[in-house]
Amino acid sequence: MLNTPTILNRVFWEDSFAVQSLSQAITNHLNMLNYKRHDIVLVCVGTDRSTGDALGPVVGTELLKSALPNLQIYGTLDEPVHAANLDEYLAKISESHANSIIIAVDACLGRAENVGYITAKTGPLRPGTGVNKDLPSVGDMHIIGTVNVGGFMEYLVLQNTRLSLIMNMAQVISTALSLGLRKHLVYNLASASQET
């Protein structure tokens, strides 16, 4: 009997079926949001000035290589979206992509046993909560990766997060997003053809 991946909203980056499970969860969330909104905006929050906070920009940079149709990416290593410019980018997105599905990606801090886990959820991301910042919510759905332990000296903890973990988690997230978005596109096309 073949081992098949279970669809999970939360995966550990090293699990054998992490990419498949996460990509299916992403597709399911997108299909529930509204298939008539074809364009997808990816907002990858974070900065390249802090290793732990670079997860989002690394994911954005990786996905630039995928050349997915109907995908607009904000937040890369070259042009990060962070606390200082988030309002500006959200205003731009609201004006330019009014009827798009918005997916936010960010790093977070958590309990020791959750480090390395990636979670996909419907609903907006609340960036900055782990470092006690009051920033605007972002997205129709979000993906977060727990990169280190929170609760004490958060900025120092983020600075001392292993780059290896960030790169590995970013690879899982970017690959899962690429697969999930492609599956969602197929779902859109099938749904559109059934309506005609």
pLDDT digits (tens, 9 = 90+) for 49-87: 999 999 999 999 999 988 787 899 999 999 999 989 999
pLDDT in tens, 100-131: 999 999 999 999 999 999 999 999 998 876 66
Beta pairing, strands 117-122 & 141-149: antiparallel
Over range 168-177, report the average pLDDT: 97
Residue partners of 98: CB distance under 8 A and separation at least 6: none
Sequence-ordered strand ranges (E) for 58-175: 71-74, 101-110, 117-122, 141-149
Per-residue pLDDT, 131? 61
Domains defined for the chain, CATH in brackets? 10-185 (3.40.50.1450)
pLDDT in tens, 7-31: 458 999 999 999 999 999 999 888 8
Percentage of the chain lying above the pLDDT 90 cut = 62
The pair of three-digit structure tokens given for residue 127, joined into one six-digit string: 């960036």
Per-residue pLDDT, 191? 62
Taking CA atoms, 110 is separated from 19, 48, 99, 159, in Å, by 22, 20, 33, 15
pLDDT at residue 5 above 50? no
Q: Do the beta carbons of residue 105 and residue 71 sit within 8 Å?
A: no
Over range 93-101, report the average pLDDT: 90
Per-residue pLDDT, 145? 97
Least confident range of 24-28, 144-148, 178-182, 190-194: 190-194
Place of tokens 């886990």: 117
